[in-house]
C-alpha cells in the first residue's frame, strides 16, 4: 500500500518504521516546511495519508488531503471542536476519514473495561471517581484526547457524573481529570474509584509509541478503499 505521512515528528517517524516493516511504501512526507507537496503527484498517488501533527494544524491538513482525493487516518488530539464539520464533509462529499484519540489495541480494550466498570458503579454510590493522565513535557494539549474519551465512557455509563473538568471538581457530578506532564512519558491513564473503605483503580501504561503507531498502520490498511467517517469500533468489535 502507498502511504503518505503528514507530520514527521515522534509519531510520524515511528509510523514510518512500522509501515515499512509491514511492506508498505512511503510515497510522500509532509511536514511544516513543505505544505506545497499536498498538490504533488506523489502525494496524490497515496492510498491513504496518516496525519499526526498538532491541534492547531490538523483540520487544515484534513482539508488539503480531501482536496487531493486522499483518504485520511488521523490521531492528532485537541481539535475535536471541529469534529462535526469533518463528519459532515465525509457524509456530503463522500470523503474518507478514520479518527481515534488512541490507536493502541491495549487502550481500546481499556476503553471497553472502563465503560463496564462505570456501569457496575451505578449500584455502588459510596465510590467517587477521578482520573489521572501522565504524558511527556512536549505535549501541547491537556487533558489528553484519550482521557477525554475515557471521561466520555464514564459519563455515558455512570448516572452520577455529567461532565469532566480539568483538575478540580466544581460539583459532585463533575469527573475531575488530573493532567501531569513529566519527562518523556509516552502515556499513562488511570481511573480511580474511591470509597471510605478502599480504592479500585484501572490503569493503562504505554511502554513506548510502538502500540499507537502499529494501530495507526492497521487502521490505514483497513481504511484504504473505504468511504465515510470511521473509527476503532469499525475495526475492532468489543
Ligand atoms: N491517537 C493516538 O494514538 C496518538 C495521538 N497522538 C497525538 O498526535 C499528535 C502528534 O504527536 P507527536 O508525533 O508526538 O508530536 P510531534 O510534535 O513529535 O510531531 C508533530 C509534527 O507535526 C509537524 N507539523 C506541525 N505543523 C504541521 C503542519 N501544518 N503540517 C504538517 N506537519 C506539521 C511538526 O513539525 P515541527 O516540529 O517542525 O513544528 C512535528 O514534526 C498529537 O496531537 C498527539 O496528542 C500521539 C500519540 C498517539
Ligand atoms: O501526545 C501524546 O504523546 C499522546 N497523545 C494521545 C492523547 O492525547 O491521548 C495518545 C497518547 O496518550 C499519546
CB 48 within 8 A of CB 73: yes
Q: Given the residues 135, 161, 189, 204, select the one marked as catalytic.
A: 135
Q: Is the ipTM, as predicted for this complex, more than 0.90?
A: yes
Mean pLDDT for the chain?
Answer: 97
Place of cell 490521531: 75
Please report which helix (H) or strand (E) contains residue 131, including its range. strand 128-135
Please tell me the distance from the alpha carbon of residue 121 to that of residue 157, in angstroms, as a whole number: 9
State in Å: Cα 141 to ligand 1 middle. Answer: 11
Q: Give the per-residue pLDDT at 238.
A: 72
What atom of ligand 2 comes closest to residue 143's alpha carbon?
A: 8
Crossing angle of helices 10-21 and 210-223, in 10° steps, is 60
Nearest one of 67, 70, 77, 134 to 101, comparing CA atoms: 77
pLDDT exceeds 90 at position 237: no
In sequence order, what are the beta bridge partners of 192? 130, 201
Q: Is the CB of 9 inside a 6 Å radius of any atom of ligand 1? A: yes
pLDDT exceeds 90 at position 63: yes
Nearest one of 164, 156, 152, 147 to 204, comparing CA atoms: 147
pLDDT exceeds 90 at position 12: yes
DSSP string covering 21-89 = HTT-EEEEEE-TT-GGGGGSHHHHT-SEEEE---TTTHHHHHHHHHHTT--EEE---S-GGGHHHHHHH
pLDDT digits 0-9 by tens, 90-121:
999 999 999 999 999 999 999 999 999 999 99
CA atoms within 13 A on the CB side of 205: 5
State in Å: Cα 158 to ligand 1 middle. Answer: 33
Amino acid at each position: 500500500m502507498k502511504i503518505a505521512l503528514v507530520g514527521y515528528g515522534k509519531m510520524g517517524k515511528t509510523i514510518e518504521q512500522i509501515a515499512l516493516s509491514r511492506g508498505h511504501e512511503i510515497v510522500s512526507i509532509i511536514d511544516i516546511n513543505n505544505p506545497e507537496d499536498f498538490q504533488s503527484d506523489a502525494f496524490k498517488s497515496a492510498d491513504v495519508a496518516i496525519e499526526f501533527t498538532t491541534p492547531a494544524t490538523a483540520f487544515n491538513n484534513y482539508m488539503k488531503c480531501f482536496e487531493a482525493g486522499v483518504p485520511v487516518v488521523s490521531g492528532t488530539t485537541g481539535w475535536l471542536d471541529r469534529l462535526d464539520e469533518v463528519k459532515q464533509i465525509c457524509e456530503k462529499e463522500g470523503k474518507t476519514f478514520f479518527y481515534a484519540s488512541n490507536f493502541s489495541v491495549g487502550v481500546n480494550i481499556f476503553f471497553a473495561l472502563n465503560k463496564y466498570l462505570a456501569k457496575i458503579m451505578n449500584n455502588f454510590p459510596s465510590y467517587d471517581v477521578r482520573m489521572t493522565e501522565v504524558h511527556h513535557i512536549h505535549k501541547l494539549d491537556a487533558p489528553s484526547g484519550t482521557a477525554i474519551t475515557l471521561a466520555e465512557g464514564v459519563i455515558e455509563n455512570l448516572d452520577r457524573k455529567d461532565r469532566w473538568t480539568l483538575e478540580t471538581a466544581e460539583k459532585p457530578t463533575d469527573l475531575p481529570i488530573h493532567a501531569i506532564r513529566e519527562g518523556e512519558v509516552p502515556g499513562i491513564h488511570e481511573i480511580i474509584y474511591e470509597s471510605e473503605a478502599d480504592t479500585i483503580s484501572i490503569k493503562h501504561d504505554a511502554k513506548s509509541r510502538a502500540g499507537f503507531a502499529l494501530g495507526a498502520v492497521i487502521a490505514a490498511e483497513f481504511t484504504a478503499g473505504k468511504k465515510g467517517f470511521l473509527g476503532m469500533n469499525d475495526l475492532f468489535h468489543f
